Structure 1
Amino acid sequence: MHGFAGLGKSWALPTATFVSKRTARPGYSEIDSSEFVDNQDVLKAKIVCMADLIRASNNFIVYSGAGISTSSGISDYASKTSAKVPLAKTGFSAQASFAHYTLVELYKLGMLKRWVQQNHDGLPQKAGLPQKAINEIHGAWYDPTNPVVKFSGELKDDLYEDLLDWEERTDLCLAVGTSMSGMNADRVFTTVSEKAASNQEGALGGIIINKQRTQYDALATLRIFADIDTVFKMLCEELEIAKPTPSKKYRRGSFSNQPNAHNDRFALAHYDRKGVRVKGGDSGGCDLDLSVGSRVVLLSGSREGERGEVTGKNGEGHYKIRFMVRLKKGGTLRPIERKLGWWWIEAAVNGDIDLLPVINVRRGRKDSK
């Protein structure tokens, strides 16, 4: 109930605040959906321990699940919880929580090195996290090359390779709001936790923040039962960093004032005409036209080569692209709208990503879609 850090301490056990015999993740875990909270004194002691672990870490990462976004109005569809929060009008209208903003602040301070995100909601980026710092391993609403992955689906190759890289590199993993019911991505938590349990040099292990139990609680260096946003408010005080002030509505930054952002046309100096980042030398650059009516082609993912048409932007400035797809083999073509997050354009102009998500369909090239 406390993790290895609680061994030898007289910490009181967490108190049950919601008791249920219903399985939290049917088909993936037999653990019920009962919820627990630490008392205030124990929670304070755990926050001190959490801060010490973060300070000692060289490769601290976060592994987030649905629980981090429930206070933003996105329902945790996979679990049966007691949480009662107003739902966002749509998932796309949801705004980042205090926890999202605090983790972004830790990234800006150089403490957090990588964010592995099970959710699809783009809330870390809305809180200011650059695209280069996140691995949206299970799909993303704002990346047309990375559609949401079904439980039986295949992970995107480059994201899986990145996951394996950070599995080996990390010395401390914070699992927040995730039930960790056996997904492949859980390895970023279990591997470093097993290293710490076997006293491998440099391994600090894993921290879990979740009101519900998980199958990996016994592996944790530190186990916290508490409201997620409350934990991060206390962590800010313990780390002596200013509490971030979440904006009421996401606004893209001053990037739109840059000289290469004109009428939704962008000059990308770091990329060649195939959308590949060129390190050094003169690539000649790549122009990307995302004005209404322009046509683009996906450069990676399960639908690589699929073509679409830009139809406009939503209220937050994210591009809307319409694709004609067959939902099943032999079926008729149907229009599907996907979003391209504004943060992808920021990353492209800065040369932060290896491959652009889309390039324009070249004139004169046959376009059958």
Structure 2
Amino acid sequence: MASTIRSEEDTKEFFDSPEELETKVSQLADWVRQSKHFIVFTGAGISTSAGIPDFRSGINTKLETGPGAWELQAAGIEWDVRKHKTTSVAKAIPTPTHMSFVQLMEKGILHAVVSQNCDGLHRRSGLPTSRLYELHGNSNVEKCNICEREYLRDFRTSTGMGGMFGHKTGRMCDDLACRGDLEDTIINFGESLPVVTIKDSFDHSKKADLCLAMGSSLTVTPAALIPQNVGKKNLLVIVNLQRTPIDHLAALRINGKCDDVMKLLMSKLGLDIPEFRLKRRIVMTAGKKGDKYEVCVEGRDQEDHPFSFLKSVTFSGADPDIRCDQEPYTVLTRAGAALQVNIAFHSHYGEPPLMLKFDITEDGSVTVDLQYNPFTGMWAVSRSDEVKGEVKDVAEKLASAKIQ
């Protein structure tokens, strides 16, 4: 599929006039207001404005990210990074389209996002995992091949070991009773989609009275059957620059860039598009171990799932001082110790390190919620103490750190 040269007509891009766009999005806004079960289906086109190239854009595309990967491959053309505006997936910032979905879901308007994308931007944007269905996996998630426990990482989990269909990452499950091999979650052509994810996605398509399909060629099955099923019985709206094979099922076909459409839609709905913030949660626990305390620092996401986003943790004031460069980040210390915990991140967005202070008084834990503004380079910090212990001077300046 990737090596097939498509015709000029297949790759032609269409753009509605401003007047057409206004009329079409007004109709879409009316349908969104009336909808009882609104779902979104997304493809690579929603991430091009973040600097991530798609797969099928033609050689003469107007997108700043340039031709799609498969079009270049089919034409035998090598990628020239100097000609196009791109970034790595790790450094990509969720787009206004991604953030619009977060707001729509928080307002109870949007019920599910089904995505073909594996760039992780939906999850990074703040969409709850309970209503996000990543059909083709997530480049930041790996899974135990025995107990099926998932691990979210702040780095690409795929290593390419064993070729395209070799998914082992070289890491092992943290559960000492399991220790199964961890595998990346990317679904390649010819591989089966995750059973539960695809079932739940189809269940939503059966309930949906409105499906908004954005930035997808709608050619890859079985994923494309989800919007297709909605279009056969209810309202399907397709937003894409190129034609798709199920345009005839669409109640409305919008020819425009995803961000332009979503900005206009949110305006008509009277909703703001929230600015992206990188959300991090740090949990510090202290537990009695003999005559000392074992202190552990771990990362979690906003839904309290384990999340490997810490690069290193240095404990000062312990017995002795220690730097941990890999999980688990733990240290033994005496009761009454005033720990200074220096935390370094992978810093894909330039996040500066933080210093936390933790008084060890008895068993307990402290949760520190962080939000980083990549546009200003500043942290915002809040905390909650379940019990005991105290975080003092949370997030003091360390090196060039700026705290707001």
TM-score (norm 1): 0.60
The alignment partner of 2:10 has SS state of coil
Write out per-residue CA displacement over residues 258-297 of structure 1, whole angstroms, 9 at most, x where no aligned residue: 879951178xxx99xxxxxxxxxxxxxxxxxx982459xx
Flag the structure with higher helix content.
Answer: 1
Counterparts of 1:259 and 1:55 in 2: how far apart (Å)?
Answer: 45
On the 8 A contact 2:112/2:131 being kept in 1, the answer is yes
In structure 1, what is the equivalent of residue 263 of structure 2? 233
Q: Verify the 8 A CA contact 1:100 1:127 in the aligned structure 2.
A: yes
Pick from 251, 255, 280: which aligns with 2:278? 251
Query: Which one of the candidate residues 145, 148, 159 is aligned to 2:197?
Result: 159
Structure 1 residue ranges, 4+ long, deviating more than 3 angstroms after superposition:
23-31, 85-89, 257-262
Which residue is 1:173 aligned to?
Answer: 211
Output aligned runs, 1:1-369, within 5 Å.
26=4, 32-80=10-58, 81-85=61-65, 86-145=84-143, 147-196=185-234, 205-244=235-274, 246-247=275-276, 250-253=277-280, 255-256=281-282, 262-264=296-298, 292-294=326-328, 314-315=346-347
**Residue 60 to residue 26, structure 1, CA distance change in 2 (3 Å):** farther
Deviations 1:223-256 (A, max 9, x none): 1001211111111111011233x33xx5214x33
Distance 2:123 2:245 in 1: 29
- Give me the whole-angstrom Cα distance separating, in 2, the residues matched to 1:53 and 1:30: 34
| Residue identity matched to 1:125 | R
Give the AA of the match of 1:149: I
| TM-score for the superposition, normalised by structure 2 | 0.55
Counterparts in 2 of 1:262 and 1:59: CA distance versus 1, 3 Å: farther
Give the partner amino acid of 1:314: H
Distance between the aligned counterparts of 1:87 and 1:163, measured in 2? 33
Letter in 2 for 1:71: S
Whole-angstrom distance in 2 between the partners of 1:57 and 1:29: 38
Letter in 2 for 1:109: K
CA contact (8 A) 1:208 1:224 kept: yes
Cα-to-partner distance string for 1:33-56 (whole Å, 9 max, x where unaligned):
101111111111111100011111
Residue ranges of structure 2 left out of the alignment (5+ in a row): 66-83, 144-183, 287-294, 306-323, 330-343, 350-369, 371-404
1:292 & 1:76 partners in 2: Cα distance? 34
Structure 1 residues 191 and 291: CA distance shift in structure 2, 3 A: farther
Question: Match of 1:173, SS?
Answer: strand
Amino acid at match of 1:115: V
Verify the 8 A CA contact 1:25 1:181 in the aligned structure 2: no
- Alignment partners' CA distance in 1, 2:140 and 2:191: 19
Over 3 Å counting, the alpha-carbon distance change for 1:87 and 1:55 in structure 2 is: same
1:179–1:212 contact (8 Å) kept in structure 2: yes
Indicate if the aligned counterparts of 1:31 and 1:215 stay in contact, CA closer than 8 A: no
Q: When you count strand as a share of all residues, which structure comes out higher?
A: 2
Which secondary structure does the structure 1 equivalent of 2:282 belong to? helix
Alignment-mate amino acid for residue 45 of structure 2? G
Distance (Å, rounded) in 1 between the aligned partners of 2:251 and 2:120: 29
How many angstroms does 1:79 deviate by?
3.5
Q: State the distance in 2 between where 1:265 and 1:179 align.
A: 37
Specify whether residues 127 and 184 from structure 1 end up closer, same or farther in structure 2 by C-alpha distance, changes over 3 A only: same
Measured after TM superposition, the shift of residue 101 of structure 1 is 0.6
Rg (Cα) greater in structure: 2
Looking at structure 1, the residues matched to 124 and 136 of structure 2 have their Cα atoms a distance apart, in angstroms, of 18
1:98 and 1:58 map into 2 onto residues whose CA distance is 24
CA 52–31 in structure 1, closer or farther in 2 if over 3 Å, else same? same
The 3 A distance-change label for structure 1 pair 122 and 158 is: same
Q: What is the Cα deviation at residue 28 of structure 1? A: 9.4
Alpha-carbon separation, structure 2, partners of 1:73 and 1:32: 23
| CA shift in 2, pair 1:82/1:51, >3 Å | same
Displacement of 1:164 in angstroms is: 2.3
Structure 1 range deviating more: 118-127 or 26-35 = 26-35
Instruction: Mark the runs of 5 or more structure 1 residues left unpaired by the alignment.
Output: 1-22, 197-204, 272-289, 296-311, 318-341, 343-369
